[in-house]
Structure 1
Amino acid sequence: MTTASKILYVIAGPTASGKTAAAIALAQRLDTCIISADSRQCYREMTIGTAKPTANELAAVKHYFIDEFPVTQELTAADFERLALGYLNEIFATRHTAVLCGGTGLYIKALCEGLDAMPATDPDIALRTEAEYKENGIEWLQQAVETEDPEFYETAEVQNPARLLRALSFIRSTGKSIVHYRSHTPKERPFRIIKIGLELPREVLYDRINRRVAMMMTEGLESEVRGLIPYKHLKNLQTVGYAELFEHFEGKCTLAEAVDKIKQHTRNYAKRQMTWFRKDAEMTWLRADDEQLVTKILAISTA
């Protein structure tokens, strides 16, 4: 069997759309493994707030890029591209197919298309931009990025100041949005790629998000985040579900207000994820709650 005959199924979509369940059902049907394309589930200390697959789900299908790194280690999309290609080599050594599942659009793009080399950010500009942020706060940073780099802001995780700072420093250094270095000349991959986007009516998706956040709190999210206070300055923890509870611990809002913010910010993030994935012309969209979902995915690969 030639390498070119291998198939990578990509299961993408917004948070809480049912990607994990769909990917596991597909991988079980194909007797193969799953590579996570989630930029936070790879960290061992972040479990409840990242909605990792459960122990039973991880036991049902072998997963890669789950619980592989400490929260203190920073990973980039380029790191993911390198790691994921290695995972695929291992999977394809014994199997015809593999499944990629996640909602981090840049990670999926990195694996499927590769990343272009990008110019360096001017360190002086980066320092000045960070100083402005420390003086003026997150709302200033969000507004600055929206004004100076609307292309990036359209799909950005706007509660993550580290990513906003990087994008703002980059455009101030180069005059170009960082999004233009998300490969416009896709690399050739020695396997076929089938991209499936999962969608739900907005009211259904938002209800699932609200219920998921409530369940996270029941499962102990507050305790998980409290245990990470010594690391709250890390970029990896400046993300939805963690940043809001850190604010609560600092006395900036009540617990109920923090939970409401997590729900709101997660809904906002899901909207931006859909904006990103909708731009991919290779994505075939299917209803996440379709009882024949796996059958329809497999039919696409044989069409």
Structure 2
Amino acid sequence: MKNLISIIGTTGIGKTKLSLALAQHFKTEILSCDSRQFFQEMKIGTATPTAAELSEAPHHFIGHLSVKDYYSIGQFEKDATAKLQQLFSTKDTLIMVGGSMMYEKAIIEGLNDLPEADYQNQQKLEGLMNTHGIEALQNLLESLDPEYFSTVDRENPRRLLRAIDVIWQTGKSYTENISTSVKKRDFNVYRIGITAPREIIYERINRRVDLMMQAGLLQEAESLLPYRHLVPLQTVGYTELFRYFDGEWTLDFAVEEIKKNSRRFAKRQLTWYRKETNIHWVSFENPVEESLSLLHNLNIKPEQ
């Protein structure tokens, strides 16, 4: 059996660094399941690996799309599983990395057979949002499925619309709809999570946002203003700066909101991962050595 090592953890915890170390150790390649890093125009705000980091190991699903492209989680599952099969023809072990929980789930478990979008439901929900704002969708989803609401990206209207539509169509919560594993993969999956005290996670997030601003996040967001209505840009780091450009917020306030919303996302990631039972946790202080020791004990070794 082939092996997929999936590296997970909160935003800013050090997943990229660990993935590079493991890829070099196993002389293998890396697939990203970070849905925000798919888009080539959003390098700074999504903490896409640098050119130097990308040169350390072959990467897939990083910057392969434009924000103008439509790309669904279903398309990703199809493309990524095909890429895995191709790479497994020459590699025994591959690395996957990313903090997009549903995208990781799509690869390691497969997507559930959810109904197609219902046009009337979509129209009704879009009308609700246009009249009462995204808060109306947030409140509705929280009342219908508080468990999924605790982990969903609440600032992403597409995720909210989709979940409510599925609930209305099936009569079951979105959590129930996605809870069952649907596909048996023909490779082993080993999930390694990087853990740290919450105050360390938050401190790292705050520092990372400051570094993004120094690296030119403001200019990147300004260049994307013509595309602000597109789904990829309905995300932390961009929506806040768009409000600065609109004159609603000062720049300092917008940056503090990016930090706050990034910390909220990390909290949702922690909530999601806490429910998972098959994660091998390693410390943020010594992730490479702990991961290599763990994988050695699982009898996963570099190819000769």
State the TM-score, normalizing by the size of structure 2. Answer: 0.94
Shift of 1:300: 4.3
Structure 1 position 168, deviation (Å): 2.3
SS at match of 1:71: coil
Q: Which moved more, 1:162-171 or 1:253-262?
A: 162-171
CA distance in 1, matches of 2:279, 2:24: 22
Task: Report the more deviating stretch, 31-40 or 112-121.
Answer: 112-121
CA offset at residue 166 of structure 1?
Answer: 2.0
Q: In 2, distance between residues paired with 1:66 and 1:200?
A: 26
The structural deviation recorded for 1:23 is 0.7
Instruction: Provide the residue aligned with 1:296 in structure 2.
Output: 293
Please report how far the alpha carbon of residue 116 of structure 1 lies from its aligned counterpart in structure 2 after TM superposition. 1.6
Q: Deviation per CA, 1:186-221, whole angstroms, max 9, x where unpaired?
A: 411111111111111111110000000000001000
The residue number in structure 2 matching 1:241 is 237
When structure 1 is superposed on structure 2, of 18-27 and 171-180 the one drifting more is 171-180
Q: 1-side partners of 2:70 and 2:177: how far apart? A: 20
The within-5 A match list for 1:129-140 is 129-140=125-136
User: Retained in 1: the 8 A contact 2:23–2:94?
Assistant: yes
What is the aligned partner in structure 1 of residue 43 from structure 2? 47
Specify the SS of the correspondent of 2:191.
Answer: strand
Q: Unmatched 5+ residue regions in structure 2?
A: none
Secondary structure of residue in 1 paired with 2:44: coil
Where 1:284 maps in the other structure, the secondary structure is strand
Aligned pairs, number: 299
Distance 1:35 1:121 in 2: 29
Give yes or no for the alignment of 1:287 onto 2:283: yes
Match of 1:32 among 25, 28, 31: 28
Mark the runs of 5 or more structure 1 residues left unpaired by the alignment: none
Q: Are 1:194 and 1:301, in contact at CA under 8 Å, matched by a contact in 2?
A: no
How much does 1:183 deviate? 5.4
Match of 1:83, SS?
helix
1:266 to 262, 265, 268: 262
CA RMSD of aligned residues (A): 1.5
Deviates more, 1:183-192 or 1:244-253: 183-192
- Greater mean alpha carbon deviation, residues 175-184 or residues 14-23: 175-184
Aligned residue runs from structure 1 range 43-192, under 5 A: 43-182=39-178, 184-192=180-188
Task: Measure, in 2, the Cα distance between the counterparts of 1:266 and 1:274.
Answer: 12
User: Matches of residues 3-22 of structure 1 in structure 2 within 5 Å?
Assistant: 4=1, 6-22=2-18
Identity among equivalent positions (%) equals: 43
Partners of 1:50 and 1:215 in 2: CA distance: 12
